[in-house]
Structure 1
Amino acid sequence: MADNSHVRNQLREAILRGTYAPRQRLIEAELAEEYGASRFVLRNALIQLASEGLVEMQPNRGARVREVTVAEAVEITEIRQAIESLVAARAAERVSDEQADYLRELGDQMRAAVDHNELVKYSELNTALHTTLREIAGHDTGSRMLEQLNGQMVKHQFQLFLVPGRPNTSLPEHLAIISAVCARDPEAARAAMHTHVGSVVTTLEEFAENSAASV
């Protein structure tokens, strides 16, 4: 029978993939059967995912996938801005020649994806870039915090790439980050990342304003 960490990881991945929609009820008996786990193990996994902000436990109603509002997404991204900037600066201090070559290659692929209007591919490359920077930086605490924060932002992050003109805005920001890291300039890398994530905050705030106006 599956153990707690295995079930938690599988359920987390399913939520992040969108297998379960925001506010969807997570029925313990059904999930226990699906994941081959006991109800006890399944419930512990749900409680841990609740502590990560992916699930919410409702008194007398069980668990459901937590829906992150646009306002919450703005706050999460503001925290990301500080951590991502730190990670970018650390990456610039530690990047190897081989890693720099890979970052430049990612930049070329991102440019090609935008040129061909391949939004899903661009989204995947964006994830690869930020993940690579965390790996280069080797800042374990920052990486753990970003993984948790990003997990809550999956829906909003994908929506950002569907905003008309957004990839054309973010591409030069990403290329500036890559350039600064490859140049081994920590302060330039920090500033470039701060600008990039700041533009994400601005876009999300526009979402919030539009949502409020439509109510």
Structure 2
Amino acid sequence: MSNQTEYAYKYIRERILDGTFKPTQKLIESQLSEMISVSRNTVKKALLKLERENLVSIENNKGATIKSFTLEEVKNYLEIREALEGIIARSAAQHIKDTEIDELEQLLLRMEHCMKQNQIDEYSKLNRLFHNILYNASRNIQATEMVSMIKTQLMRFHFRTLLIPGRNESSLNEHKMIFASLKNHDAAMAELAIKQHISNVRKTIENNYQYLL
């Protein structure tokens, strides 16, 4: 992929995931070409890559449209993620290093500070780092790759769930439980803790779906 195509791909992808470009919105190649200052052919290549990630759908003679997921589809994705995260956490608890445990502990302290300061955007970034360390500690690479794909599909929902009253406090407590099980190398507890965390995310989205679109 050329540098220009990569730039166009990242530009469009970022705006899909942060909600600037909305679900069901048509993506007009000529408009994107002017907006990004690249050729239409470059935009076309970028859109094809986004289609492979299931972020847009492309129809002949109709162009590209940002994918929209029904509540049922979101719930299904999260049920799959819950099962996969359990497998990942079990493996991570058995293989996590002391340095990684220290990193998680420091992240939790920063997450707690962000929550108290209502810095939701920063909390969300630290949250992703927390999970990335857990994924790196796991030996099940295939499961982490599948979770990464699902998280990409649902990223537009993730940040908004933290805006639901009380959800950020619950999220922090859930991460503390995950951390405690990893620190104790308790595989069964790690699996249970992370599955509960994902289950709560699913319930939050289910109960507030109309506000999260």
Give the TM-score normalised by the residue count of structure 1.
0.85
State how 1:148-167 maps to structure 2 within 5 Å: 148-167=149-168
Which amino acid in 2 is paired with 1:43?
Answer: K
Which amino acid in 1 is paired with 2:38?
Answer: G
Q: Percent identity?
A: 30
Number of aligned residues:
209
State the alpha-carbon separation in 1 of the partners of residues 72 and 44 from structure 2: 29
Which segments of 5 or more consecutive residues in structure 2 lack a partner in the other structure?
Answer: none
1:84 is matched with 85
Change (3 A) 1:17 1:35: farther
2:120 is matched with 119
How big is each residue's C-alpha offset from its partner over 1:50-82, in whole Å with a ceiling of 9 and x where there is no partner? 232200123422002212233322211111111
Which segments of 5 or more consecutive residues in structure 1 lack a partner in the other structure?
Answer: none
Query: Secondary structure of 1:153's partner?
Result: helix
State how 1:1-215 maps to structure 2 within 5 Å: 2=3, 7-32=8-33, 34=36, 36-37=38-39, 39=41, 41-208=42-209, 211=210
Change (3 A) 1:35 1:183: farther
Aligned Cα root-mean-square deviation (Å): 2.4
State the alpha-carbon separation in 1 of the partners of residues 3 and 40 from structure 2: 8
Asked if the contact 1:57/1:64 (under 8 Å) is kept, the reply is yes
State the alpha-carbon separation in 2 of the partners of residues 137 and 182 from structure 1: 14
State the alpha-carbon separation in 2 of the partners of residues 2 and 165 from structure 1: 43
Give the TM-score normalised by the residue count of structure 2.
0.85
Deviation at 1:12, TM superposition (A): 2.6
Change (3 A) 1:2 1:115: closer
